[in-house]
Each structure stands twice: as structure tokens, then as C-alpha cells.
């Protein structure tokens, strides 16, 4: 269905409200390395009358107005906000949607990254510029249908991708194991261009929920599928592993890690005994493996889809630093440093996001793109504050790219939120030895020096064993919006509501 037809159908059932036609939903943070150029990209665009209408509804990133110690110096707002909020609400629908996910990015992770990278009174050029915010619930289900109050990434991703709650570990199937159609599949069926970008292995839960249907999230490859979910295995009449289904779903652009699983051979079907990479080549995929090769790609479509595989597993993170440890709060405060493993050959999340947009944006019917900053969660599991903060900064830079396009394009819905909350907490920094009583912080802790020169103490206490993984938490999550249908994220919603917000905005 063409965009013009989808748009006319929406107008037949929605009241006329042509205030703005681009939406962004976000849960993320931005970089301490933002340049003037990035700031300009986040500023209102007024090149056409339509974009001028959009700009009126924007709010700029809200930062403290002055000296934090002065009366009113910590204020982030000035004047009444009613008009700006009113102008931010539109029901016109969208031609395109960009959904950005910060895996494991709860309010604590956002705040810690902001404090470290931008300062207590600072703000992020992506997330903090969005005018409409809300909270959503993200519980999963047990197989008997009762609520499981702490979700994993598979069940949560399945919820927004399909609109159906399911059990932890399920990839876009319901609690009975029945396939549930994803937003990406629905968008492709409607004739839209599609993309799927992640810093994780592409077989990981968040990217997988848009492209695959398996009963166990670890069914990455033909071998693991035969072992963990044999009913899904190709040789048993199933759809195959997540990797095989990624090839079958055939998004126009798919970028991330996970090349190792594509080295395995198919066990059945037309490409039996050939590796999945060999299969991809025979099926017309373009296969860039580094940033330079990706930069040379000039088109992506169903004849020449792009499958970029930039690492064997998860892509390397931005920053490194000491992990939290027992009594870590007593040690000298640390500063995060660049990860030497992330070389110039590794494309940044912002670069992959921009490239995907560039390759998809000319489709007359519009596009749907999902982008994930995956290792906020993975570094949180490791109790590594520098790791998780750097990945949050990375995601915000990707959000800025999405916002820049949305403001210039005038017909784009960009969505960013998290899949679940996580373990890290900001706790008081001990400045007086008399306050340091035995057992004060029973978990793992680490102090960091922020850009303001203050000490930020992070605590991880869902597992006291430094060698074991920290856990997800069940706290509701922030969601923010910019553009058409943005009012649908205000107040308290559920993770499944996001499916319907995007589905309805695109008129699928």
C-alpha cells in the first residue's frame, strides 16, 4: 500500500490535526563529545512551511540556567510550556518510523550517563529534547499466563514487536509457541523499506524479534537450533535458526555483529551443506564487514539487500574502566577511557543509523527501521559503569541522527525506549570516614570522576559475586516522543502499546 493511500485512510478516521508529522520516542542519553554540528542538527529546521510548523513544537534540550548554587540556577524550564506541548501533539500519522532501543536502559542508567557525560545540570541533545514523555510497564508472562514481573529482552522485544505478551526467552511467539507477526514483517508486507541495526549479535533478542520466530532465544544457528528448539529446526520442518530466518525475512538493511553463526552450514533445504554466508551471497546480499566497506554501499533493496556483519559476536563497546567490586567505593575514583578494541574499522552506532536512513529514505512507500544500543545491558550485567555509560552515550548520538532526519524530512516517526530496567544505582559518595560503617554497601561499587570534577558512586547489588551476572529489575521505564501520535506515550502505558502506536502511525 502506498504512503499516500495509507495517509488518506488515516485522514478518513482521524480528526484533522496537522501540527507536525515526525515522531520520535526515546529512552537514552547523549554524549559529552557532542559537537557544534551535532547541536545544530538537533535545532529546529525551517526550510519549508511544514518544517516550520514542526519546529514550533520542539523543545530544546533542557539544561540548568546558571550557577547551581544560586536561587533558580538549577531550573531547566523558563516560562509556561503549555503552548509548546499542545503544538507537539498530532494525529496525522507518519510515512516512516525509526525505533531506537536502549537495552537495559532504565532511569538509573540514563541519569548516571547524564551525570558523568553532561553534568548534573546538563542535558542530552537527543533524549532530553523530546517534548512528550511517559512511563510504561514491561512485565512478561509465565507459560500459564500469570505475570512474570521481571522480563528478559526476548519477551520484552516480542511485546513491542508483535503486540503480544509472552514468556522469557521467546522470540516473537506467544505463550503457546505460535508465531506472532512483527512490525518489520508487517511493514515489509505493506511495501515499506525495512532495516534492523544493533551493536549486538544480530541473533540477539532485540534484533531477532523483528526477523525471527523461535521458542528459545539462543537458537542462533543451525546447530544450536537443533539442540535447543528442534521444532524450529529447518530439518524438522520449522523456519530454521534465527540466522536463517534473518536471511528469509530479508530486511533491506541489516547491520550488527554475529558473523560466527553465519559460518555454520544449513542442515536442510535448498542451501543444505552451504554456510549461511555462502547462502547470503547466492541470494544477492551485499556483505560489508567494516566501516569502509559499509560507506561504499550506495543502495539497498530487495534485489540487493545489505547484511553488514562487523564482529564475530557483539560489537566492541565505546569506553572501558574498572568494574565495580566489593568495597570499590573506598578506592580512588576512576575516569572512563576509550576502548582500544573499537578501531576505525568498526562502524559507530550513529554511523550505522545514518547509513540505514540514507539507504531507506527514498522508498516512496516509506520505511521502518529498528536500532538497538545493546551493550548498556551487557555492561550492566558485568557491573561495569564505564561500559554501560559509554554505550548510553553511543545510543544518544544515534538518536540525534534520527531526530535530525525527522526534523528535515517532516514525515518520520522515530521511537526510542528501553526493553527492561537494570541493576545499577547511584548511591551516596562517602566523604566522611565516620559515615563508612561496616556493611554500608553490601554489593559491588565503583566511583567515577565526572566532567564536573565530582565523584559519582555506582552500586550493583543484585548479585554479590563479582564473577556472576547482575540481574534485570522490574521498574517501569521511561518513554518519550516527538511528532505524530506522540500523545499516545504520555502517562502510563504498556510495552505492547508501543506496537499499536507504531502500527497505527504507519497505517499498517
Report CA-CA distances (Å) from 182 to 188, 194, 206. Answer: 10, 12, 12
Q: Any residues with CB less than 8 A from the CB of 365 and at least 6 apart, and which?
A: 1, 2, 3, 190, 191, 192, 193
Q: Is 80 known to sit in a ligand binding site?
A: no
Residue 439 is predicted with a pLDDT of 57
Which residues touch 209 (CB under 8 Å, ≥6 apart)? 154, 157, 158, 161, 162, 171, 172, 182
Domain annotation covers residue 273: yes
138 is in an annotated binding site: no
- pLDDT-above-70 percentage for the chain: 86
DSSP conformational letter for 454: -
| pLDDT tens per residue across span 447-457 | 999 999 999 99
Residue 247 CA neighbour count, 13 Å, CB half: 27
Alpha carbon distance 459, 422 (integer Å): 11
Sheet strands (E) in 268-379: 306-309, 319-320, 325-326, 337-338, 367-373
Which among 363, 373, 406, 356 is positioned nearest to 97, based on CA atoms?
406
pLDDT of 33 higher than 50: no
Residue 223 lies in a domain: yes
Q: Tell me the pLDDT band of 133, cut-offs 50, 70 and 90.
A: confident
Whether the predicted pLDDT of 89 surpasses 90: no
CA distance 368 to 240: 24
Residue 432, annotated ligand binder? no
> In the chain, what is the straight-line distance between the N-terminal and C-terminal CA atoms, in Å?
9
Q: Which of 7, 123, 153, 224 is catalytic?
A: 153
Q: Is 472 annotated as a binding residue?
A: yes
Task: Please tell me whether 206 is known to bind a ligand.
Answer: yes
Give the highest mean pLDDT range of 2-16, 58-72, 84-98, 467-481: 467-481
Confidence (pLDDT) at 14: 41
On whether residue 187 sits in a domain, the answer given is: yes
pLDDT at 201 (0 to 100): 98
In a domain, 327, yes or no: no
**pLDDT computed for residue 334 by the predictor:** 97
Nearest alpha-carbon partner for 375 in 255, 292, 456, 257: 257
pLDDT (average), residues 33-37: 39
- Domain for residue 461, yes or no? no
Q: Helix or strand or coil: residue 416?
A: strand
pLDDT confidence tier of residue 436, bands split at 50, 70 and 90: low
Q: Is the pLDDT of residue 23 over 60?
A: no
Least confident stretch, 43-52, 131-140, 152-161, 173-182? 43-52
Q: Is residue 396 marked as binding? A: no
Does 372 carry a binding-site annotation? yes
> Cα separation of 353 and 402, whole Å?
7
Rounded distance, CA 434 to CA 446, Å? Answer: 19
In a domain, 11, yes or no: no
Mean pLDDT in the chain?
87
Is the pLDDT at 16 greater than 50? The verdict is no
Q: Is residue 388 part of a domain?
A: yes
pLDDT: which is higher, 439 or 22 = 439
Residue at 146 is within a domain: yes
Residue 434, C-beta contacts closer than 8 angstroms, at least 6 positions apart: none
Share of the chain above pLDDT 90, in %: 71
Active site residue 153: yes
CATH number for the domain spanning 310: value is: 3.40.720.10
pLDDT bin (cut points 50, 70, 90) of residue 301 is very high
Q: Tens digits of per-residue pLDDT, 362-404?
A: 999 999 999 999 999 999 999 999 999 999 999 999 999 999 9
pLDDT digits (tens, 9 = 90+) for 229-255: 999 999 999 999 999 999 999 999 999
Range of the domain at 355: 85-317+349-422+479-506
Q: Give the E-state strand segments of 32-131 in sequence order.
A: 89-90, 96-102
Q: Is 204 among the annotated ligand-binding positions?
A: yes
Q: Binning pLDDT at 50, 70 and 90, where does residue 62 land?
A: confident
Q: Are 102 and 416 in contact (CB under 8 A)?
A: yes
Q: What is the dihedral of CA 449, 460, 76, 430, to 10 degrees?
A: -50
Identify the three-state secondary structure at position 460: strand
- If one counts the domains in the chain, the total is 1
Amino acid at each position: 500500500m502506498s504512503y499516500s493511500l495509507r495517509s488518506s485512510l488515516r485522514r478518513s478516521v482521524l480528526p484533522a490535526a496537522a501540527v507536525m508529522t515526525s515522531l520520535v520516542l526515546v529512552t537514552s542519553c547523549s554524549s559529552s563529545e557532542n559537537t557544534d554540528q551535532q547541536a545544530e542538527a538537533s535545532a529546529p529546521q525551517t526550510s519549508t512551511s511544514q518544517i516550520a510548523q514542526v519546529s514550533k513544537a520542539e523543545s530544546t534540550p533542557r539544561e540548568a540556567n546558571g550557577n547551581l548554587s544560586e536561587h533558580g540556577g538549577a531550573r531547566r524550564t523558563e516560562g509556561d510550556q503549555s503552548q509548546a506541548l499542545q503544538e507537539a501533539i498530532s494525529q496525522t500519522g507518519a510515512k516512516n518510523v525509526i525505533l531506537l532501543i536502549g537495552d537495559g536502559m532504565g532511569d538509573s542508567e540514563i541519569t548516571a550517563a547524564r551525570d558523568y557525560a553532561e553534568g548534573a545540570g546538563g542535558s542530552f541533545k537527543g533524549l532530553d529534547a523530546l517534548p512528550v514523555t511517559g512511563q510504561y510497564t514491561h512485565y512478561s508472562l509465565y507459560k500459564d499466563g500469570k505475570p512474570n514481573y521481571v522480563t528478559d529482552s526476548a519477551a520484552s522485544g516480542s511485546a513491542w514487536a508483535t503486540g503480544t505478551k509472552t514468556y522469557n526467552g521467546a522470540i516473537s511467539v506467544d505463550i503457546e509457541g505460535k508465531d506472532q507477526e512483527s512490525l518489520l514483517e508487517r511493514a515489509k508486507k505493506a511495501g515499506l523499506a525495512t532495516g534492523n541495526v544493533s551493536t549486538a549479535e544480530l541473533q540477539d533478542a532485540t534484533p531477532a524479534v523483528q526477523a525471527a520466530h523461535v521458542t528459545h532465544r539462543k537458537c542462533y544457528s543451525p546447530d544450536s537450533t537443533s539442540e535447543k528448539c528442534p521444532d524450529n529446526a529447518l530439518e524438522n520442518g520449522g523456519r530454521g535458526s534465527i540466522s536463517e530466518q534473518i536471511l528469509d525475512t530479508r530486511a533491506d538493511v541489516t547491520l550488527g555483529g554475529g558473523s560466527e553463526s553465519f559460518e555454520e552450514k544449513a542442515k536442510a533445504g535448498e542451501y543444505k551443506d552451504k554456510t549461511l554466508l555462502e547462502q547470503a551471497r547466492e541470494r544477492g546480499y551485499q556483505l560489508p564487514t567494516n566501516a569502509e566497506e559499509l560507506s561504499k554501499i550506495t543502495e539497498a533493496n530487495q534485489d540487493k539487500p545489505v547484511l553488514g556483519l562487523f564482529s564475530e559476536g557483539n560489537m566492541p563497546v565505546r569506553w572501558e574502566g574498572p568494574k565495580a567490586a566489593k568495597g570499590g567505593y573506598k578506592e580512588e575514583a576512576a575516569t572512563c577511557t576509550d576502548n582500544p578494541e573499537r578501531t576505525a574499522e568498526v562502524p559507530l552506532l550513529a554511523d550505522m543509523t545514518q547509513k540505514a536512513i540514507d539507504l531507506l529514505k527514498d522508498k516512496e512507500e516509506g520505511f521502518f527501521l529498528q536500532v538497538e544500543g545493546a551493550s548498556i545491558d551487557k555492561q550492566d550485567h558485568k557491573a561495569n559503569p564505564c561500559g554501560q555509560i559509554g554505550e548510553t552515550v553511543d545510543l544518544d548520538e544515534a538518536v540525534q541522527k534520527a531526530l535530525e532526519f525527522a526534523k528535515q524530512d517532516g514525515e518520520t516517526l522515530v521511537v526510542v525506549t528501553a526493553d527492561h530496567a537494570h541493576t545499577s544505582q547511584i548511591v551516596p559518595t562517602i566523604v566522611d570516614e565516620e559515615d563508612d560503617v561496616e556493611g554500608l554497601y553490601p554489593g559491588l561499587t565503583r566511583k567515577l570522576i565526572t566532567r564536573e570534577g565530582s565523584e559519582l558512586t555506582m552500586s550493583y547489588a543484585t548479585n554479590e559475586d563479582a564473577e556472576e551476572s547482575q540481574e534485570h529489575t522490574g521498574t517501569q521505564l521511561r518513554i518519550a516522543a516527538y511528532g505524530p501520535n506522540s500523545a499516545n506515550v504520555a502517562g502510563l502505558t504498556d510495552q505492547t502499546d508501543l506496537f499499536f502506536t507504531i502500527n497505527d502511525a504507519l497505517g499498517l
